[in-house]
Chains A and B, each alone.
Chain A
Amino acid sequence: MSSHSPALLGYLVAGALIAATPVAAQNWRSLDIARQLADSAPTAVNVVYGTGTFGLRGSSSALLYHMRLRYDASRTQPRHSFDTTGRKLLLGVQKSDVRFTGRSDNESGQLQLELSRVAPLDLTLDLGAVEADLDLTGLKVSRLHIESGASDGKLRFDSLNATPMSVLEVSLGAASFRAERLANANARDIRVDAGVGNVELDLGGQWTQDIDLRVEATLGVVTIHVPSDVGVRVSLKKLVASFDHQGLIERDGAWVSPNWESAPHKLRISAETTFGKLTIDKTGR
């Protein structure tokens, strides 16, 4: 028997199941939603987006938010509400619409979101299979939580977050994720939970405090870039995983950089990885 034939039956059944699923008409629409900025009170922002392209950036205009959504009305319904009393903003699409359809479309949805740089934001992003470009430069983010299923995401802070961030959490399913200049997030506590995928964390930027970084990865490759003048201490639990600790020395059950004691700022990494690979790049990138 051919070595390809066994897997084909699985594809066959799955394909037939998908093929037999009734599909509604495509009905593309666009929706622009904005609200004038009335004050600079803190606002909790929750964005849900299923499939397509998602862009987020700060805006200096006199708007609290401006969402431009292009969507297929036969599959998804926009969601936009703002509780003026509780300062809760919900944007994106309905949670139930975050699903994988199994169809490849010539057209894909798009969500472009601009948030005010004036109001402090408690930001939660719930993303499905999304190509995300999250430029949080200039925003005042007091807390950031990103949850993503199968996405290709990029997060960056090109300037220092003006508001100390209590926690930065990233939870990924099967994703490729890259965060740039994370020190600018101004977060003392950073947690990354990655399933299957490639995660790259660049801790460049302006260091204002020590950072605790917790990383959990399964079947993934995690690469952490650390500036050369930052002291690094890595405590690692691994199962069938590799650890590239070039430039680090083992001490008291952990791996530390030679400048650990003298460094002005310290990065404490607590990592757990299974069937994965953790690399610490301390070349000053």
Chain B
Amino acid sequence: MRPAILALILAVPWAPLTAQQPAAIQPPATRGAADSTGTTAQARTGASAAAAPTVEAAEPAPVALQPAAMDSIRELIARFRRDPQGVPLPPREQIAMGGRTIAAGTQVQGPVAAAGGPLHVYGTVNGDAVAIGGDVIVHGGGRITGNAVAALGSVTLAGGVVGGEMRQLGGAIGAIPRGATATESRVGATRHAVALAASWLVILVLIGIGVLVFATSYLDGVTESLEGRFGRSFWAGIAAQLAIAPVLALLIVALAVTVLGILLIPFAIVAFILAVAGLITLGFLAVARVTGESLAPATRRGYHAQGAALRALVVGVVLYMGLWVVASAFAWAPIVGTLLRGVAVAITWVAATAGLGAAVLSRGGTRRPSAPVSSPAPVNDLPWQTPTPVTGVVAARRPTPSSSSRER
């Protein structure tokens, strides 16, 4: 695009090509008319404040264009045809390259178009008048019944009349980028999304470490609650989610009915939101820890208890947040990216819900699940057994001297 515009500017040095900021549409009160010779110098500068002497104007010669400039202009015309803000153009061979003048007293059926030069209107155009890479200048006595459109140029009223809209297009001309042009930025957007998701992963790991260091017992409590009762925790989590708004409303009403409580309402709202967010975070970290323990048990490696907990937590958080990183990595592919995001949302929601439920059931980790009522532990009798049969042993008869021998 840039070389094309450069070529155009070189070929038409006096044409007001202002790609980024086209000159404002100038009403007759503020912009002078073109002089009687029809040159565009004054129209370009707007120096003349006098009314146009009108009518018979010498036709300005079209600008001679170099072949390279012609190619650039043709490209610009093609872009204009695809631009949503453009108007229908006549066939290619009817577009005046280098500029055109509609002479006074003549009527031309629109659309009329010029490219790479100005379109001077002294007569009447029944329809739209378009200048691509040039100005539309409507001189005194000139009339355009349709729209006056300038792409990378300006529309100037120099005593004439435009029945329709005066429109100037600046900046990028062409179709709205959906494909090739968007690809480059999609790469950037994907990179940005991945970096952001990865950053949040790191942040959550850091939060987990903080919780492990400063609130281990609470995390242990929620974890234990979750390990034994996952299903119950999940349903409790759903109930908790549904109850958040009503409980907050009840809290506000309860405070409002008291005199002193009214002053506490703003603080109560903030505290409630923080408490809910804290429970969700604690629960999610507990789910991550349980997941990590199940996927990568550390018992065999002889980790210290804290080290094992940290390892499990990091593995779990990386797993859950990894889903988001992967989903972000496919941001460039709308369908796959959306599917992956859906999966990540679903899994994260289940985890957060179960975690919230466990946090609620364990009162934020302060209450451990009650030990199940069990039968008395079996007593190992073996150490207490003696080789003596329960039923007893027949005692051996002590050998005693027989009476006969005594008699002897």
Tell me the minimal C-beta distance from A41 to chain B in angstroms.
16
Complex Cα–Cα for A60 and B27 (A) = 10
A-chain residues with CB within 8 Å of residue B348 when the two chains form the complex: 13
| Interface pick from A18-26, A143-151, A179-187 | A18-26
Q: Closest approach, in angstroms, between the C-beta of B248 and any C-beta of chain A? A: 14
A78 within 8 A of B: yes
Known: A30-B171, A36-B157, A62-B28. A6 touches B181 (CB 8 A): no
Check B182–A74 contact: CB distance below 8 A. Answer: yes
- Closest chain A residue to B193, Cβ basis: A19
The reply to whether A20 and B176 form a contact with Cβ atoms under 8 Å apart is: no
Q: How large is the interface on B (under 10, 10 to 19, 20 to 34, 35 or more residues)?
A: 35 or more
Contact A1 B282, CB 8 Å, known A7-B274, A26-B185, A62-B27:
yes
Which positions 1-29 of chain A face chain B at CB distance < 8 Å? 1-3, 5-13, 15-29
Interface centre among A19, A77, A78 (most CB of B within 10 A): A19
Kindly list chain B residues whose C-beta atoms are within 8 Å of the C-beta of A275. 265-266
Q: What is the size category of the interface that chain A forms with chain B?
A: 35 or more
Tell me if B401 counts as interface (CB < 8 A to partner A). Answer: no
Q: Return chain A residues, CB-CB under 8 Å to B284.
A: 9
Q: What is the minimal beta-carbon distance from B336 to any residue of chain A, in angstroms? A: 11
State the Cβ distance, A224 to closest chain B Cβ, in Å. Answer: 24
Closest to B175 in A: A73
Task: Give chain A nearest CB distance to B264 CB in angstroms.
Answer: 11
B178 to chain A: closest residue by CB: A24
Tell me if B247 is interfacial: C-beta within 8 Å of chain A: no
Do A8 and B274 touch (CB < 8 A)?
A: no
Cβ–Cβ contact A35 & B165, under 8 A: yes
Contact A1 B193 (CB under 8 A): no
Q: Are A12 and B167 in contact (CB-based, < 8 A)?
A: no
Cβ contact within 8 Å between B204 and A9: yes
Contact with A along B321-362 (1 / 0, CB 8 A): 100100110011010010001001100100010000000000
B218's contact among A1, A20, A21, A29, by CB below 8 Å, is which?
Answer: A1
Report how far A78 CA is from B170 CA in the complex, Å. 13
Contact B162 A8 (CB under 8 A): no
Q: Which residues of chain A from 61 to 109 have a CB within 8 Å of any chain B CB?
A: 61-63, 66, 68, 70, 73-74, 77-78, 80, 82
Report if A240-B256 is in contact (Cβ < 8 Å); known contacts: A9-B277, A31-B85, A73-B172. yes
User: How close is A146's CB to chain B, nearest CB, in angstroms?
Assistant: 26
Closest chain-A Cβ to B72's Cβ sits at a distance in Å of 19
**B210 within 8 Å of A by Cβ?**
yes
Q: Which residues on the B side are within 8 Å of A21 (C-beta)?
A: 193, 331
Q: Which of B133-192 contact A (CB under 8 A)?
A: 155, 157, 161-173, 176-178, 181-182, 184-186, 189-190, 192
The answer to whether B184 and A5 have CB atoms under 8 Å apart is no
Instruction: Give Cα distance in the complex from A20 to B25, angstroms.
Output: 42
Task: Assess the A8–B207 pair: CB atoms within 8 A.
Answer: yes
What residue of chain B has the Cβ atom nearest to residue A24's Cβ? B182
Query: Which A residues lie within 8 Å of B218 (CB)?
Result: 1
Tell whether, in the assembled complex, residue B280 and residue A6 are in contact, meaning their CB atoms are under 8 Å apart. Answer: yes
| Known pairs A6-B280, A10-B277, A35-B165; A22 contacts B207 (CB<8 A) | no
19 contacts between A and B (CB under 8 A): A1-B282, A2-B210, A11-B200, A16-B197, A20-B341, A23-B186, A23-B189, A23-B331, A24-B177, A24-B178, A27-B171, A28-B172, A29-B173, A32-B170, A34-B155, A35-B164, A62-B29, A63-B25, A275-B265
Q: What is the interface of chain A, defined by CB distance below 8 A to chain B?
A: 1-3, 5-13, 15-36, 60-63, 66, 68, 70, 73-74, 77-78, 80, 82, 240, 275
